[in-house]
Amino acid sequence: MSSLHDLPAEVRSALEPAMRAITADLGHQLEPQTIEQFVVSSYEQLASKAKVTTFLPLMTERFARQRLRAFAKVEGRAEAGTPIVLFLCVHNAGRSQMALGWFTHLAGDRAVAWSGGSEPGHEVNPAAIQAMAEVGIDIAKEFPKPWTDEIVRAADVVVTMGCGDECPYVPGTRYEDWELEDPAGQGVDAVRPIRDDIERRVRDLLAS
């Protein structure tokens, strides 16, 4: 597995603040080497898809932090805490991002939501961003990312949306499959009904 020293100097410099911030938060649960490995692998996964690298260090920090929290839970190094719901689709650019937005908006402190894709796209669907903004939910700062083993294993509920056999399966985890139209390539008028369907399903999930 790559280390920070294997990366170009400019990349190391850009990632070092993320390393320090994550270590300050999670260093009591995880070793520095583990944190470094997750930061580097998160950067490599995101960089392989990124068209614009301006915000890559920030996205790397957010993705690595999520993965490390999942890893700490799976390894028994963190308290169970609040339930985790994971939304999975193909590109992590439309349906799962809208579900994440609704869940975060409606759940408050009751639960945590994450999302991922089997083939992450380059950006969140602009029509999905616009449709969610119309109901007061900002998903413009989200970004497509892959799911990883520790994230899937840490989830208490996994909601799948069109990823079929590629969706990972963990015995003992609660699964739901939501049949939703794919908003990819559609305008905001077509995305609004999908948005509203997702809201209803998220409310039902929270109620259960």
Whether residue 179 lies in the annotated active site:
no
First to last CA, the chain: 41
pLDDT at position 34 is 95
Nearest to 180 by CA among 116, 88, 85, 83: 88
What was the pLDDT predicted at 52? 66
Residue 163 is a catalytic residue: yes
pLDDT digits (tens, 9 = 90+) for 178-203: 999 999 999 999 999 999 999 999 99
Catalytic, 167? Answer yes
Q: What are phi and psi of 160, to 5 degrees?
A: -105, 150
Q: How confident is the model at residue 133 (pLDDT cuts 50, 70, 90)?
A: very high
| The two structure tokens encoding residue 12 | 């190391």
Coil vs helix vs strand at 195: helix
pLDDT band at 208, cuts 50/70/90? confident
| pLDDT recorded at residue 65 | 96
What does pTM read for this prediction?
Answer: 0.91
DSSP string, 27-62: TTTS-HHHHHHHHHHHHHHHHTT-S--TTHHHHHHH
* Active-site residue identified among 86, 100, 129, 167: 167
